[in-house]
């Protein structure tokens, strides 16, 4: 189920990019350049969902059994991910105007925070007293994942109030969170 929903949500992002109808090479080029926030939102959301996807996939390799609560928690995570094309479109539509940017960034950050928190909730629910964890997974491995996963909610949570000072700082942090995961460090 999860793979299908994430694949669709990530691909629907493109539908939120407006197709400019300006005529003439110059006008079209300007219209395409002017909507850079749409490309920025598309790329940032695509990569962020991609990171959630990889982590989700990874996490479920440690989980041996699935119970009813886990299914429900996972459904909520999928609901959060499905919502991101909307919050991305709102961000893209208001990023350029100085007035409006703040609210759009809050919504955008909140949708990221929601998925990051749920990823943690799922992991802690599954790993609590090794409830649903495969027997061959070491305690150290579990602990390592718990520590790494806390980065997301922490960063996203801190940047929500930060958006009051400057939405652009928040968005930079989101890009950094995605980059931290995407750039291979040593391993």
Query: Residues in the site for a copy of itself, rule: CB under 8 A?
Result: 1, 3-17, 19-25, 27-29, 32, 42-43, 46-47, 50, 53-54, 57, 68-69, 71-72, 75, 78-79, 82-83, 85-86, 89-90, 93-94, 97, 99-104, 107, 182, 184, 187
* 3-7 long-range Cβ contacts below 8 angstroms, 24+ apart: 3/57, 5/78, 5/81, 5/82, 6/49, 6/52, 6/53, 6/56, 6/78, 6/81
The CB-of-84 to a copy of itself minimum distance in angstroms stands at 8
The CB-of-99 to a copy of itself minimum distance in angstroms stands at 5
132: left (phi over 0), alpha (psi -120 to 50) or beta: alpha
The CB-of-46 to a copy of itself minimum distance in angstroms stands at 5
- Which residue, 33 or 135, has its beta carbon nearer to a copy of itself? 33
The CB-of-48 to a copy of itself minimum distance in angstroms stands at 11
C-alpha 166/C-alpha 163 separation (Å) is 5
The CB-of-57 to a copy of itself minimum distance in angstroms stands at 8
- Which residue, 99 or 135, has its beta carbon nearer to a copy of itself? 99
- Which residue, 27 or 165, has its beta carbon nearer to a copy of itself? 27
């Amino acid at each position: 189920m999860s793979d299908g929903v994430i694949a669709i949500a990530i691909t629907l992002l493109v539908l939120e990019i407006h197709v400019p109808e300006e005529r003439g090479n110059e006008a079209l080029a300007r219209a395409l350049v002017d909507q850079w926030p749409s490309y920025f939102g598309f790329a940032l959301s695509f990569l962020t969902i991609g990171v959630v996807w990889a982590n989700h996939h990874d996490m479920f390799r440690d989980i041996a059994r699935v119970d009813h609560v886990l299914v429900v928690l996972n459904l909520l995570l999928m609901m959060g991910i499905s919502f991101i094309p909307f919050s991305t479109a709102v961000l893209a539509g208001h990023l350029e105007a100085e007035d409006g940017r703040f609210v759009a960034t809050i919504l955008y950050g909140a949708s990221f925070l929601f998925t990051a928190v749920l990823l943690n909730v799922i992991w802690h629910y599954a790993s609590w007293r090794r409830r649903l964890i495969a027997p061959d997974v070491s305690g150290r491995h579990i602990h390592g994942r718990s520590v790494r996963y806390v980065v997301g909610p922490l960063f996203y949570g801190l940047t929500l109030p930060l958006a009051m000072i400057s939405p652009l700082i928040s968005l930079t942090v989101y890009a950094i969170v995605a980059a931290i995961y995407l750039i291979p460090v040593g391993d």
